[in-house]
Structure 1
Amino acid sequence: MSRIFISGSSTGLGLMAAEWLARRGHRVVLHARNAVRANDARAALPQAEAVLTGDVSTIAGTREVATQVNALGTFDAVIHNAAVGYREAHRLTADGLPHVFAINTLSAYMLTALIERPKRLVYLSSGMHHHAGAHLDDILWQKRRWNGSEAYAESKLHDAMLAFAIARRWPDVFANALEPGWVPTRMGGPGAPDDMDQAHLTQAWLAAGDDPQADVTGRYFYHMKRMEPNPQALDTGLQDRLIAICGEISGVALPRISPPVAPA
């Protein structure tokens, strides 16, 4: 059985994925933004191994979450689920960053870089990423008029780009992205039309490691089936620029796997 950490898992799809995994005997560690949410998560899934608390809207908070994860030892998989939605007003974090970018893009990058490398990495994107542009020249929305829907779609494109960049750079890790569908969670809203019973399955399946069909990397999924992502997500030049930008903003470098040493 696998040991899996899920960011942003006190409610919604993160908690649903954790429940699915726990029912199948996997060890899950949850994450909540604050103590109140952590208590709710413990009550909802008492069999969780632990519930970590930390605010991933800030660079310091994200570092602290990664420290807590690493203090628990190694994990087989990490699901990068933490996110805010598409109806957000423009707000700056304590670091002066748009909070949609800070949570949806930067925290996923930082947790990837700082958590001891697992066997599997799963990144939640969105169907909205198909119509987004990366806009790496204005990733902090300093030149454009704020649009919450566009900011969210961009961040979910960034998450797919990050997954594919990791798949290239860390060949010993299965790194994939997915879209869960537009479902009626608190983020999606009550009118969302997609199937809630399907929304959490792909990320849990990719993380669990129970099925050889999930032993792939650099792929994009919808409801456990391969789908082509936005072509920009596959652009290695854009991927590398995103990694460099996130590294510069956060002060956290993405580790590289050392090439194998030839025998003497």
Structure 2
Amino acid sequence: MARILITGSADGLGRAAAQTLLDEGHDVVLHARNRERLTAVRALLDRGAAAVAGDLADVAQTRDVAEQVNALGTMDAVIHNAGVYTGARILPVNVVAPYLLTALVRRPARLIYLSSGMHHGGRPSLRGLDWTGRRVTASYSDSKLFLTAFAAAVARLWPGVYVNSVDPGWVPTKMGGPGAPDDLRLGHRTQEWLATSDDARTTGGYWYHQQQREPHPATQDEHFQDELLAELEKFTGTSL
């Protein structure tokens, strides 16, 4: 059985994945923005899930989350699920936090990053971005393009780790809204599969419902990937 960290797992797809993985007998480490939010997953904690807490929009708190995770031991897989759709927190939560956690959490065997089909509408430009989140300088689509490019870069640079990104579809979560047309169960099955299955020992893929899809071409551009890594390293002071 695997030990799996899922960021942003107090609700939505993260919580659904945690529930399924616990049902399958895996050890799950939940993450919430603060300790108060963990009350929403009390039932999962009572079943043996561990938990860490910290606001991923804050660099210092993200570093602390990494320390909390490392204190629990080595993870077999990390599902970078946490994300926001609007507002100034988009770059810190959707891009900076996954970068920092990837750099600081003891390296697992598998890494999964939650992208979006909307990344195809993102702009492959790093000009004028405010990584601090004090100003809105990027859209949700931009952030998911950056995250998908980052996942591809990690897959390239860490050949000993299975690294993939996932489009969960437009599913009826708090973010997706009640009218979302996609299947909620399929929305979290792919990341569970990539985190645990012997049939998912693959890397560098962009997945939708357990099928590989073609991501935005810019995400596969090694020059763009390297520019993105350099920007994130400069901002955080932390090397991948």
TM range (shorter): over 0.9
Q: Distance in 1 between matches of 2:136 and 2:23?
A: 42
Q: Unpaired segments of 5 or more residues in structure 1?
A: 92-98, 255-264
Contact 2:91 2:131 (C-alpha < 8 Å) held by counterparts: no
Q: Percent identity?
A: 50
Q: Does 1:236 align with 2:236?
A: no
Residue of structure 2 equivalent to 1:252: 238
2:144 corresponds, among 156, 161, 174, to 156
Relative distance call for 1:49 and 1:141 in structure 2 (3 A) is closer
Give the match for residue 79 of structure 1. Answer: 79
Q: Report how far residue 146 of structure 1 moved.
A: 5.0
Matching of residue 59 in structure 1 with residue 47 in structure 2? no
User: How far did 1:47 drift?
Assistant: 2.0
Task: Give 2:162's match in structure 1, choosing from 174, 184, 196.
Answer: 174
Unaligned runs of 5+ in 2: none
Specify whether residues 216 and 141 from structure 1 end up closer, same or farther in structure 2 by C-alpha distance, changes over 3 A only.
Answer: closer
| 1:193 positional shift | 1.3
| TM-score where L is the length of structure 2 | 0.95
Aligned mate of 2:106, from 70, 94, 116: 116
- The alignment's TM-score, normalised by the length of structure 1, stands at 0.86
**1:133-148 matched pairs, under 5 angstroms:** 133-140=123-130, 146=136
Instruction: Tell me the distance in 1 between the aligned counterparts of 2:104 and 2:151.
Output: 15
Distance 1:48 1:225 in 2: 32
Superposition RMSD in Å: 1.7
Q: Does 1:18 align with 2:18?
A: yes
Distance in 1 (CA, whole Å) between partners of 2:192 and 2:11 is 15
Q: Distance in 2 between matches of 1:141 and 1:113?
A: 17
What SS does the corresponding residue of 2:169 show, helix, strand or coil?
A: coil
- The Cα offsets for residues 121-172 of structure 1, whole Å up to 9 and x where unpaired, read as 0000001001211221123289xx958xx61111111111111101111110
Is the 1:83–1:104 contact (alpha carbons within 8 Å) kept by the matching residues of 2?
yes
Is the counterpart of residue 227 in structure 1 residue 217 in structure 2? no
Deviations 1:168-227 (A, max 9, x none): 11110000001000111101112211111210000111011x232x11100110001110
Distance 1:157 1:181 in 2: 15
Q: Which amino acid aligns with 1:207?
A: A
Compute the displacement of 1:63 (Å): 0.1
Structure 1 residue 242 displacement after superposition: 0.8
Q: Determine if contact 1:30/1:48 at 8 Å carries over to the other structure.
A: no
Q: Which moved more, 1:22-31 or 1:33-42?
A: 33-42
| Aligned residue identity for 1:131 | G
